[in-house]
Each structure stands twice: as C-alpha cells, then as structure tokens.
Amino acid sequence: MHITQLNRDCLLHLFSFLDKNSRKSLAKTCHKLLEVFQDPLLWSSLNFHSPAELKKDNFLLGPALKYLSICWYSERVKVCNIEDWMKNNFQKDFCNRHENTVSDFLLEVCNRCPNLLSLTLSGCGHVTDDRILLLLKNCPNLMTLKLENCVRITDQTLEAVILYGGSLQTLHVDFCRNVTQTGLEKVREKCPLVMLRAERSASMIPDNKPEKKPMLEKASRKFAQL
C-alpha cells in the first residue's frame, strides 16, 4: 500500500511523529500530503529551541495551538541578558539581529491562537511585560505560564497576571532578576489558587537604570574608603 492510500486520520497520526522540517519535506511530495501538513489538528503543540526557528516556514499557527514552548539554552543567551547600556558594539549588533524575533512571534500568537493553554519561555531576554500583558488579554484560557531567565520581565507582568490571568493555574518566573518580592507577595495575596514559583528571582540583583548607575558607583567607592 502506498502512503497516500491511507486515510486522513492515519496520515495525521504518522505526521505527528515527525519534526517540523520532516513534515514540511514530506508535504512537498504531493498535494494530499500537503493537505495533511496544513491540517490545524497537526499543530496543537509547538516547541522551538532558538529564535531562528521562529522564522522558518515549517509550521502553522492557528486556533488549534494549545501548547507553545520557546526555550533557548545556547551560550549566546548570556549576551541577551546583559544590561543594554553595558553591552559593547559587538554584543549590541548580535542582539539587534534577533531582538524583536520572539516578541513579533508572540504578537502573531496573540492574534491567531486564542485557545492557547500553556506558554513556556526560557532564555528569551528581549521579551517585555507589554507582550505578556497582551497575550494574557488575548488568550483568556491560558492555564500555565512559565518564564525562565527572561530578564526584561518585571512586576508589571505580575500585575497583568492579577488583572487578566483569570484561568491561570501555574505561574513560574524563575531567574527573572527584575521581579521583586513585593510583586510576588501581591500575586500570592490576590491569586491564592495559582501555583507560583520564583526560583532565585527576588534574590537576584535587579537591573539599574542608567541614570542611577553613577550614583551607585559613587556610593560604592565611598563605602570602600570607609
């Protein structure tokens, strides 16, 4: 039996075992397999391992998406986590190449995937509170939000969770250095049913605004002289 003689359900099941690139390659072989590739039921879950993967044309975004994960564990993540005003020209150039990649992708998710249930972001150093706020508004069924090593996330995201995370059951903000203990305590108070985890976040050294940095350096030098 030729593969194209299988019924739609069998083909969807076979496609489900393939990675995104393999699905795309198989879809190019004939019209029937292309239709299977374009079936929304095939794309209820998406996992990405670098921002570059978000720009590939080997997946579909749509209302069927329920589970999304973008986890970047490369050494290059460390560059993105450096405070902007402390980066050298090489580091700034590197970040400029993909600074908006994840944020732009999340905007597409907000507009096209209203039934999202779970979002995991790890090492996404350029994602801001505004994007998470918009996602919480547009995806009212979101039950799990896991943020790890997302350095631009602040207490504003925690405020958004309180206001718009009505369906949220699990919230992780691990290694997010600009999240404070005050913000975490407010979430625990206002959303007691949410399983909140914030490993190391409130105990890390937060970013300082550029205008405050000279004052802190001066205070440090003065303290060292005493």
User: What are the residue boundaries of the structural domains of the chain, listed by start?
Assistant: 1-41, 43-197
43-197 CATH, one of 3.30.230.70, 2.40.50.180, 3.90.1210.10, 3.80.10.10:
3.80.10.10
**Residue 30 tokens, joined:** 């004939």
**Residue 187 tokens, joined:** 């979430």
pLDDT at position 210, please? 59
The whole-model pTM stands at 0.85
Give the CB-side neighbour count of residue 58, counting CA atoms within 13 A: 18
Question: With a cut of 50, which residues of the chain have pLDDT below it?
Answer: 213-215, 218-219, 222-226
27, 33 contact by CB (below 8 A): yes
> What is the end-to-end Cα distance of the chain in Å, rounded?
85
Q: How far apart are CA 150 and CA 178, in angstroms?
A: 9
pLDDT at position 223, please? 42
> Per residue in 164-214, pLDDT tens?
999 999 999 999 999 999 999 999 999 999 999 999 988 887 887 556 544
pLDDT at position 212, please? 52
pLDDT at position 100, please? 86
